């Protein structure tokens, strides 16, 4: 294991032969880099993506790096609940599932809605991941030590959730809604961990964030896009931004812990334990989010509240 001072990088990912992972948004950015490392280490990886062409292109690139890579396309549109249900049914047919890495997301788009009418960032970043996780928990529970890794963001700090206007019917601020969705991610894995442990489940819930990484996630940020290459030089590349998710998914970690870059205010560098806002660990807010998510999606993970 890496020393605490050194931190965790992709070089510390142990052999993953015989294991199976789902990575959402695996065709580009952080998801691609997570998939690349797992595949090189011998894992079977299901690339959970919307676009079959982009998924095939990603798998072709990955095969040039690791000819023996065990890869498969898992059709998944996190903005559509029937697509999420179909993906979960397909994944349940795998012999085993060791980890679901909830990586995919959207950042600061114009006001848009999912197929079921949810505000897009809330619907994709939180509700989609919540629903997919809920549907896959029984399969994950078949493998001792299986994990759910949920990606939050530095943007969760100082964020708030507008409980009276979750679908942005009254107002819409791109960045505020993004922050709300990332706070929801943090609250979700916090509450998931509490409920899993209370029921004695074999599944572990862990969180992570990539720091500030140069990826396609910021494609809606207008003039800020020109600074992407500079951000990648000064802060994290997508390759380095993948390290916290890889640590959360493959290293010896604490249940319910949160991992992220350890340098420059958690914006860059090797991965280690990260800090969360007090709000992201509020059990009352976390339970409210859980119940609201069931109400909105109609999908219940079936885990009773923690004491």
**What are residue 148's DSSP bridge partners?**
100, 205
Per-residue pLDDT, 127 = 98
pTM for the whole structure: 0.93
Q: Is the residue at 129 inside a domain?
A: yes
pLDDT-wise least confident of 27-31, 42-46, 246-250, 261-265: 261-265
pLDDT at 217 over 70: no
Q: Are 268 and 6 in contact (CB under 8 A)?
A: no
Average pLDDT over residues 34-62: 98
**Segments forming the whole domain that contains residue 195:** 10-297
Residue 23: give its domain's CATH number. Answer: 3.40.50.720
Residue predicted with more confidence, 4 or 156? 156
| DSSP H helices in 41-173 | 52-65, 81-92, 120-121, 129-140
Per-residue pLDDT, 225 = 46
Q: Is the residue at 4 inside a domain?
A: no
Cα(146)–Cα(136) distance, rounded to whole angstroms? 11
Number of compact structural domains in the chain:
1
* Mean pLDDT of the chain, nearest integer: 92
pLDDT at 242 over 50: yes
Residue predicted with more confidence, 225 or 143? 143
DSSP letter assigned to residue 103: -
Query: CB-based contacts of 161: which residues, under 8 Å, 6+ apart?
Result: 180, 183, 184, 285, 289
Q: Is the residue at 306 inside a domain?
A: no
Give φ, ψ of 210 to 5 degrees: -90, 5
Per-residue pLDDT, 267 = 85
Taking alpha carbons only, the member of 248, 208, 228, 266 closest to residue 38 is 248
Per-residue pLDDT, 265 = 82
Per-residue pLDDT, 234 = 59
pLDDT at 1 over 50: no
Cα(41)–Cα(24) distance, rounded to whole angstroms? 18
Write out pLDDT tens, residues 8-39: 999 999 999 999 999 999 999 999 999 999 99
Average pLDDT over residues 94-122: 98
Q: How many helices (H) and strands (E) does the chain have?
A: 10, 8
Could you give the angle at the alpha carbon of 141 between the alpha carbons of 135 and 144, nearest 5°?
A: 150
Q: Within 13 Å, how many C-alpha atoms sit on residue 46's CB side?
A: 25
Q: Is the residue at 160 inside a domain?
A: yes
pLDDT-wise least confident of 41-55, 110-124, 232-246, 272-286: 232-246
Q: Is the residue at 67 inside a domain?
A: yes
The model's confidence at residue 264, banded by pLDDT at 50, 70 and 90, is confident
pLDDT at 221 over 70: no
pLDDT at 3 over 80: no
Per-residue pLDDT, 236 = 80
pLDDT at 299 over 90: yes
Q: Is the residue at 175 inside a domain?
A: yes
The model's confidence at residue 215, banded by pLDDT at 50, 70 and 90, is low
The model's confidence at residue 266, banded by pLDDT at 50, 70 and 90, is confident
Helix, strand, or coil (residue 239): helix
pLDDT at 219 over 80: no
pLDDT at 278 over 80: yes
Look-up: residue for tokens 């676009």? 51
Q: Are 137 and 101 in contact (CB under 8 A)?
A: no
Query: CB-based contacts of 9: which residues, under 8 Å, 6+ apart?
Result: 2, 240, 243, 270, 271
Q: Is the residue at 3 inside a domain?
A: no
Q: Is the residue at 259 inside a domain?
A: yes
Catalytic sites, residue numbers: 178
Q: Are 17 and 42 in contact (CB under 8 A)?
A: yes
Taking alpha carbons only, the member of 253, 110, 282, 120 closest to residue 190 is 282
Taking alpha carbons only, the member of 99, 127, 274 closest to residue 202 is 99
């Amino acid at each position: 294991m890496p020393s605490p001072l050194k931190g965790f990088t992709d070089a510390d990912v142990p052999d993953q032969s015989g294991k199976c992972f789902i990575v959402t948004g695996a065709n580009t950015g952080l998801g691609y880099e997570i998939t690349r490392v797992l595949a090189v280490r011998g894992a079977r990886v299901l690339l959970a993506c919307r676009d079959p062409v982009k998924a095939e292109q990603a798998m072709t690139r990955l095969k040039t790096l690791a000819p023996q890579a065990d890869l498969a396309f898992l059709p998944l549109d996190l903005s559509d609940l029937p697509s999420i249900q179909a993906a979960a049914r397909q994944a349940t047919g795998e012999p085993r599932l060791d980890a679901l890495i909830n990586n995919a997301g959207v950042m600061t788009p114009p006001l848009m809605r999912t197929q079921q009418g949810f505000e897009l960032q809330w619907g994709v970043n939180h509700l989609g991941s919540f629903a997919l996780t809920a549907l896959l928990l029984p399969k994950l529970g078949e493998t001792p030590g299986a994990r759910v890794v949920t990606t939050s963001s530095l943007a969760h700090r100082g964020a708030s959730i507008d409980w009276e206007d979750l679908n942005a019917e009254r107002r819409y601020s791109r960045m505020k809604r993004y922050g709300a969705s990332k706070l929801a991610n943090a609250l979700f894995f916090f509450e998931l961990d509490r409920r899993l442990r209370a029921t004695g489940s074999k599944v572990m819930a862990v969180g992570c964030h990539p720091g500030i990484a140069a990826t396609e996630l910021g494609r809606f940020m207008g003039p800020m896009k020109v600074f992407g290459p500079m951000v990648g030089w000064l802060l994290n590349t997508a390759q380095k931004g993948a390290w916290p998710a890889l640590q959360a998914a493959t290293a010896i970690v604490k249940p319910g812990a949160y991992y992220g870059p350890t340098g420059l205010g958690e914006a860059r560098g090797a991965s280690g334990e990260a800090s969360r806002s007090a709000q992201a660990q509020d059990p009352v807010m976390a339970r409210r989010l859980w119940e609201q998510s069931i109400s909105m999606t109609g999908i219940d993970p079936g885990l009773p509240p923690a004491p």
